[in-house]
Amino acid sequence: MNERIEIRLGGSGGQGLILAGIILAEAAILDGKNAVQSQSYGPEARGGASRSEVIISNTSIDYPKVSKPDVFLALTEEAMNKYKNDLKENGLLIIDASMEKPKDSYKILSVPILKTAQEKIGKVIVANIVALGTLIQVTEVVSKESIEKAVLDRVPQGTEELNKMALYKGFELGKSK
């Protein structure tokens, strides 16, 4: 991993990307790294664009806000269009395959996150965990062991196996690219 990586997760309110950011930051801490997480919602509680941002570093983090994300994962076109403009020049944009690829110079990875959650797992509500698995597989920003522990520690009791399956489906999506 680079000394510092800035990650943005964007989607609509209710997709669980705030929780995904919290889980990602916790996994980084489990790996012995420094991490900060922040979040932003649109004026709507559900349905409006929301984002979660995580900074992970091997050294101290002096400014807790993402300024130029290295990686941006977007689950909706609204969030992608709203939050992609400050992605680093060589940054990675991970989008759901249902979205049209933007005509930008970023590295773009299009994967069927929402479809996988709905069709392979049977619950679109775990799309955030599928997305997290894909992100980890592609970036290796935290260890798989730490992300699994953080997921299992954070998800609602009784949904652990469902979320573990979602995480591993995300790993598979990341491997296929």
CATH of residue 46's domain is 3.40.920.10
Average pLDDT score over residue span 56-74: 94
Q: How confident is the model at residue 49 (pLDDT cuts 50, 70, 90)?
A: confident
Domain that holds residue 90: 4-112+142-155
Q: Is residue 86 part of a domain?
A: yes
Residue 45 has pLDDT above 60, yes or no: no
Residue 46 has pLDDT above 70, yes or no: no
Q: Is residue 118 part of a domain?
A: no
Q: Is residue 123 part of a domain?
A: no
The per-residue pLDDT for 116 is 97
Q: Is residue 130 part of a domain?
A: no
What are the distances in angstroms from CA 47 to CA 54, 72, 78, 119? Answer: 22, 19, 10, 22
Residue 105 has pLDDT above 80, yes or no: no
pLDDT digits (tens, 9 = 90+) for 12-29: 888 999 999 999 999 999
Predicted model pTM: 0.93
pLDDT digits (tens, 9 = 90+) for 111-147: 999 999 999 999 999 999 999 999 999 999 999 999 9
CB 80 within 8 A of CB 99: yes
Number of domains in the chain: 1
Residue, of 46 and 54, whose pLDDT is higher: 54
